[in-house]
Amino acid sequence: MLLLALAAPLAAAADEQSGSDSESGTLQPTYEPRPPAQKPTYSTDYIFAITRAVTDSTLVPAARVPLYFLSIPTDLVFLPIELIAGFFPGE
C-alpha cells in the first residue's frame, strides 16, 4: 500500500512530461470570448422618473392618487430636461 502511494505521483509526473512535448506549453481557451457589450447611447430612465417612483413605491394605492396630481405636472414641466438627460445614462 505504501508502495502504491509513492508510485502514483511518479506515474502522474511521467504522463505530464510526455503530454507537454506535443503541445507548445501555452493555454488555449475552450471557447472564444464574447466581445464587450456596447454602452447604451440613450436611456429612458429619466423620463417621468418621479411618476415612476410613485408607481413603484410601497404606499397604499389610496395614498398614491394625491401624489400623482403632484408628480405628473412636475414631470411634464421637467420633460425637456429629462429628454436631454437620457443622452447621459448613469452606471
Per-residue pLDDT tens over the stretch 32-78 = 888 888 877 898 999 999 999 999 999 999 999 999 999 999 999 99
Contact criterion met (CB below 8 Å) for 28 and 52: no
The model's pTM is 0.55
Contacts of residue 24, Cβ cutoff 8 Å, sequence gap at least 6 = none
